[in-house]
Chains A and B, each alone.
Chain A
């Protein structure tokens, strides 16, 4: 596969031209300190992070977008099908499949791994047509991180920092405001074919150069290797750690809402107000931290305790789904849940506390 070397500014100009192929999404500043993964419009101000220590200007630092890029593949309130009555009074049902081309650009390795995990989930068993229809028409332009995005980052600890699978094009920051652009798939090759970038003759050398600039250690690190974290969480049943970390929890579900590997949903039907013979079924994001998540008909709740719901969430990320798919941690270490939590409950702290408790056991 080919590689190119060009400036950040040239790549940003190129991203603006890609909208003729479909919607292009890129992290965009929202206020002073937040980023939104939003559609690129004509006047959108796009920027790549500045890693160049020699630059005299104030370096531009990106943070994770509040909502992970992968959520564009399973949007909230997504229509599943719509229905109407024909002239014979029979219902006609039509599945809503979104097969428009779209480009997710500026996707960081943690979010790239999360998209890969969602690909696994939605292809597993009975495939989810609605996710896959979007995904198979999506091109991903990912972007390496040479420094942690913020103090919540622990992507290296969860094995996401060097994730590449799922990206069609991969961008690696270079000195002098340049970017190494690599095609990783045929789709990526095609997209770059007419871009007019300067071919790079020494791709490996450029990657080594970037690696040398990478902050080490990168972000927060667990107090044990990842496999030990997964084993510890898998083997932890009843533990005071679960109670400790819900003392302040409001059960608001924000951690679910911002997690790139939370995919649970609820389903709702609606009639069209102006035509009661027609309507649609939609699905909306749901979260296992919400109190009514495991309620069944008649009102029995299988997880009424907050600590049980917290344990369920953590074990999905660090025990059950890793065991089921063999693709490592389902927590990708983006740090969003801890960052956005009103009371600073952080999966990273919970994992370290479980490690500490396991060590002190006889």
Chain B
């Protein structure tokens, strides 16, 4: 075969020092990492994060693009690796490879109204796009964020969402499905509920969704009812990649390799793919 150039370190992580670690909820732990070199990531990309000797998993990047070599991750305690990650403290190290995936192109959102719909932990990857969009109000149109979770105790990035809501041209709707007898200043219901009443310039709106698989179908039904074309809906999918470089096969959805062509897709590119959303 013809020789092909390759990066010998493609499957070997770089070690990143944890400079901040704290529990955001009972299930999610926030990490700020210092990398040896900046990742130069796009919103919507992910990294392969690992603890040496324990394992590696794909984790969405939850901060906007930055150049100081810092990286923010929000990790849900859901398996043996993420359980181990929840024991990590500032000063400990995490292995990082990436960034991987297509992510969002900020230029596609210029001048457009943007509707974000986040279910639970889906807010973390969307935050990588919300941050730069909210940070440059003159470059983008009206921003609406609908963020839902189960109870007030499960809410992520509460202070930041409240700060975003104070900005001009930013509208934030926070929901829980159950107040669980806790104080709650937001609404009660599902993320689908507010869509019907939203002020929306359909022709100029792009919707961006991230949440559990069960959420997509119903949010898409509501958006369709408002007349939003499928090509104006972006979905950030979850798969359990093992490599991030399109080789391990675990994230393949029909002919699409989620870690390469995704995890961000236009819904118009997914509607003919069985198994993409459920």
CB within 8 Å of B: which residues of A?
80-81, 83, 90-91, 93-95, 97, 116, 119, 121-130, 132-133, 135-136, 166, 237, 263-271, 276, 279, 281, 283, 286, 288, 293-298, 300, 302-303, 308, 312, 315-316, 319-320, 323-324
Contacts and interface: CB of A to CB of B under 8 A. Distances in A.
Given A286-B249, A297-B238, A320-B255, 17 more contacts: A83-B52, A91-B15, A91-B93, A93-B12, A126-B7, A127-B5, A129-B9, A130-B11, A132-B4, A132-B6, A264-B250, A269-B52, A271-B53, A294-B275, A297-B82, A312-B254, A315-B255
A279 B95 CA distance: 14
Interface residues of B, number: 49
A237 B240 CA distance: 25
Instruction: In the A-B complex, list the 4 residue pairs whose CB atoms are closest, starting with the nearest.
Output: A264-B249, A320-B255, A126-B245, A127-B6
Contact of A80 (B6, B12, B79): B12
A267 B255 contact: no
B15 A90 contact: yes
B52 A320 contact: no
Contacts of A80: 11-12
Contact of A296 (B8, B51, B239): B239
Given A126-B246, A132-B4, A263-B247, A300 B10 contact: no
Contacts of A297: 57, 76, 78-79, 82, 238, 240
Main secondary structure of the interface of A (DSSP, over half): mixed
Interface of B: 1, 3-13, 15, 50-57, 76, 78-79, 82, 93, 95, 212-213, 238-240, 242-250, 252-255, 260, 274-275, 278
B275 A308 contact: yes
Nearest to A94: B12
A286 B56 contact: no
B248 A264 contact: yes
A86 to B, nearest CB: 12
A269 B254 contact: no
Contacts of A128: 6, 10-11, 245, 247
A218 B247 CA distance: 33
B91 to A, nearest CB: 11
Contact of B248 (A97, A265, A300): A265
Contact of A93 (B15, B240, B247): B15
Contacts of A298: 76, 78, 212
B255 A269 contact: no
Contact of A300 (B12, B56, B93, B213): B213
A122 B82 CA distance: 29
A324 B261 CA distance: 13
29 contacts: A80-B11, A81-B11, A93-B52, A123-B4, A124-B246, A125-B246, A125-B260, A126-B244, A126-B246, A127-B6, A129-B7, A130-B11, A133-B6, A266-B242, A266-B250, A267-B55, A269-B55, A276-B53, A281-B52, A288-B252, A293-B249, A294-B275, A295-B240, A297-B76, A297-B78, A297-B79, A300-B213, A308-B274, A308-B275
A265 B242 contact: yes
Contacts of B244: 126
A130 B248 CA distance: 13
Interface centre among A81, A267, A293 (most CB of B within 10 A): A267
Contacts of B55: 267-269
Highest count of chain A CB atoms <10 Å: which of B7, B13, B212, B247: B247
Contacts of B13: 93
B1 A136 contact: yes
A91 B50 CA distance: 13
Contact of A126 (B10, B53, B56, B255): B10
Given A95-B11, A302-B275, A127 B243 contact: no
Given A265-B248, A288-B249, A300-B213, A279 B52 contact: yes
A293 B255 CA distance: 16
Which of A90, A94, A135, A312: most chain B CB closer than 10 A?
A: A312
Contacts of B9: 95, 129
Given A126-B10, A130-B11, A264-B248, A279 B240 contact: no
Contacts of B275: 294, 302-303, 308
A312 B56 CA distance: 25
B244 to A, nearest CB: 8
A320 B106 CA distance: 30
A320 B274 CA distance: 14
A296 B56 CA distance: 13
A331 B226 CA distance: 45
A323 B255 contact: yes
Contacts of A237: 274
Nearest to B213: A300
A80 B11 CA distance: 7
A97 B8 CA distance: 8
A127 B53 CA distance: 25
Given A80-B11, A95-B9, A267 B249 contact: no
Nearest to B7: A129
Nearest to B76: A297
Given A91-B93, A293-B250, A303-B275, A267 B242 contact: yes
Contact of B53 (A95, A270, A295): A270
Given A129-B7, A296-B240, A297-B76, A269 B12 contact: no
Nearest to A115: B1
Given A281-B56, A295-B240, A266 B10 contact: no
Contacts of A300: 212-213
A166 B253 CA distance: 30
A288 B253 CA distance: 12
Contacts of A320: 254-255
Nearest to A234: B255
A281 B55 CA distance: 8
Contacts of A266: 242, 248, 250
